[in-house]
Structure 1
């Protein structure tokens, strides 16, 4: 499934996508040959001078997509499917919502419905062949003959569409990325403060993740929330990813090193411009895995990390990070026992690997899904304060 201040300009190198299309003329001609639908009836029903129109349009509509994501995270896939259907009826006709609905049917073991909504998603532009063929949400229906045949046809459809669009290449480039910063209510620049670097999950964004600060009992720290560098369409919105992978294909593996350089620059900038006593990372989901990578790669700057819904990425072992940086930081790892997005066993594997490498690990599990519960945040807050108090003494 694909997920739910002060601007600090920070520079680093990032890969940007360059699409080279060779068949513009043919594509344009095809578009011109398609007749425009007749919207006369719909237009006739709209009174553009209706004074009550503003009140009607300003009324808050339920965010069915968000509710669906919450139900999915809790493992209630029937409820999630119902909310995704409501989102589609509300007008969210994007391929991401259609794909996520297909995932729900896959998790419910309904092969035919999963295939139908996958096909609808592909027809509307979904183009991740790897996701179609490997998404664990389709494990229960993967061996169904009809589903397997339909997916093979969709993969061929995507490959033909991509071939017609032209060759895609990747170019490393220098960019500026936004970050949001918040301060304690009684902030005094002459005093030193703990720095909390908060990394959002896949598909989220920095501005929305800043709300995590409200879950702390006494947020007496400077919090900076950087935006992940890789943007991709997520329904009617834009999602962001820390790794060079999106629903529409992957960037070179080495692109993740640029993410690490970005975070190094972020931390260094905050240390140069503020009176920082200690540095902690706070990551959720993909942001959790990114926090692990950054902490192990930057042991001289990062004192500890708080990990919610994270897992053990293979390249942490393959690149020798755990071997080469034993016992450098302290960790507070939290995972929901009913997490269906990042497997609970993956969180346990991360915990065990860090302990084996000599790190100081505090582990908390809760009866829930892929989320950041407020009571767990408060435990992490107390853990940070106790560590800083021990250092001061």
Structure 2
């Protein structure tokens, strides 16, 4: 795997566009060849290789890319959204394990491959649990790449920088026993709002889960009528 960008700063250099130079990947789930033991899955919806929205989605602690795709389900496919699902290098993401570096470099390398072979109209970043915390940290540091952040039951956020102002969507279950809503979802929503971000917040009756209706609501909020 080629290390790209300023990994320790959380900044990403790669920029997918609507006009890649290489042959597009066909519909289906593809494992990107990044080397160094890095695992990243790219899910391409059915249909012709037209420019589509791209969602980067991070799994929770102890998870994997296949679980990310399963959590999002058919809703993303039905909306024609590309999904890039990385695997953390350790049990959780590098920032939560101590410092940014390896996982940022893997994501940048994966985005570089996407930029070569997949037409993309816009990008968002999201995740579940620890993955949501990671998305709410990397997203604000790369607001010139991601126009939105989708946080499903996050625990915290620690942006290493602030570049641009992506819109934020946060959802949290009121019965969450893993990351309690009051000190996590509600606190984060208030903190980002006070910092000047456009935040949409959704609470639901339930625990530490990703709900299909929550995915649908998040995608609808992000994509609006653009599909």
Using structure 2 for the length normalisation, give the TM-score: 0.78
Residue 46 (structure 2) pairs with residue 185 (structure 1): yes
CA distance in 2, matches of 1:226, 1:207: 9
Residue 82 (structure 2) pairs with residue 222 (structure 1): yes
Match of 2:165 in 1: 328
CA distance in 1, matches of 2:140, 2:125: 11
User: Is the CA contact (8 Å cut-off) linking 2:55 and 2:81 kept in structure 1?
Assistant: yes
CA distance in 1, matches of 2:185, 2:111: 26
Residue 219 (structure 2) pairs with residue 381 (structure 1): yes
Structure 1 unaligned residues grouped into runs of 5+: 12-174, 231-239, 246-250
Counterparts of 1:157-168 in structure 2, within 5 Å, are none
Counterparts of 1:76-91 in structure 2, within 5 Å, are none
Out of 126, 129, 132, which is 1:285 matched to? Answer: 129
Across the aligned residues of Structure 1 and Structure 2, the Cα RMSD in angstroms comes to 2.1
Match of 2:94 in 1: 243
Q: Secondary structure at the match of 1:216?
A: helix
Q: Secondary structure at the match of 2:126?
A: strand
Q: CA deviation at 1:176?
A: 4.0
Q: CA deviation at 1:375?
A: 1.2
CA distance in 2, matches of 1:387, 1:292: 24
Counterparts of 1:194-233 in structure 2, within 5 Å, are 194-216=53-75, 218-230=78-90
Structure 2 unaligned residues grouped into runs of 5+: 1-28
Greater length-normalized contact order (CA 8 Å, ≥ 6 residues apart): 2
Q: CA deviation at 1:244?
A: 6.7
Any idea what the Cα deviations from partners look like across 1:247-287, whole Å, max 9, x if unmatched?
xxxx6x23x23322322332233123211100111200000
Q: CA deviation at 1:380?
A: 0.9
Q: CA deviation at 1:388?
A: 4.3
CA distance in 2, matches of 1:266, 1:306: 20
Match of 1:274 in 2: 118
* 1:182–1:291 Cα change, 3 Å: same
Higher percent of residues as helix: 1
Match of 1:9 in 2: 33
